[in-house]
């Protein structure tokens, strides 16, 4: 039997732009909404000499569902 961490690792993940398109919001709005949400994959790339800092965010389907339910007040 697989544990829930393994299940989460292989479930579908969305970029903020993909989820924004599904929900009818701009990707930046989704990024802000999920920035500190537990369960999201966040890869930070620090600022370097001539390159800005960058954060790559991926949102698992289960986390998107949890946040959607919370926003609906359920």
Per-residue pLDDT tens over the stretch 22-49: 999 999 999 999 999 999 999 988 888 8
pLDDT band per the 50, 70, 90 thresholds, residue 5: low
* φ/ψ bin of 30: left (φ > 0), alpha (ψ from -120 to 50), beta (otherwise): alpha
Quick one: pLDDT at residue 71?
A: 92
Task: Check pLDDT > 90 for residue 55.
Answer: no
Please return the burial class of 8, using the count of CB atoms within 10 Å of its CB with bins 0-12, 13-18 and 19+.
Answer: middle
Beta carbons within 8 Å of 13's beta carbon, 6+ residues apart: 41, 58, 59, 60, 61
Task: Check pLDDT > 80 for residue 3.
Answer: no
């Amino acid at each position: 039997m697989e544990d829930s961490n393994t299940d989460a690792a292989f479930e579908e993940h969305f970029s903020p732009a993909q989820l924004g398109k599904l929900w009818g919001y701009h990707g930046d709005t989704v990024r802000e909404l999920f920035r500190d949400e537990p369960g999201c994959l966040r890869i930070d790339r620090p600022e370097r000499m001539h390159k800005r800092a960058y954060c790559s965010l991926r949102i698992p389907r289960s986390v998107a569902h949890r946040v959607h339910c919370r926003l609906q007040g359920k």
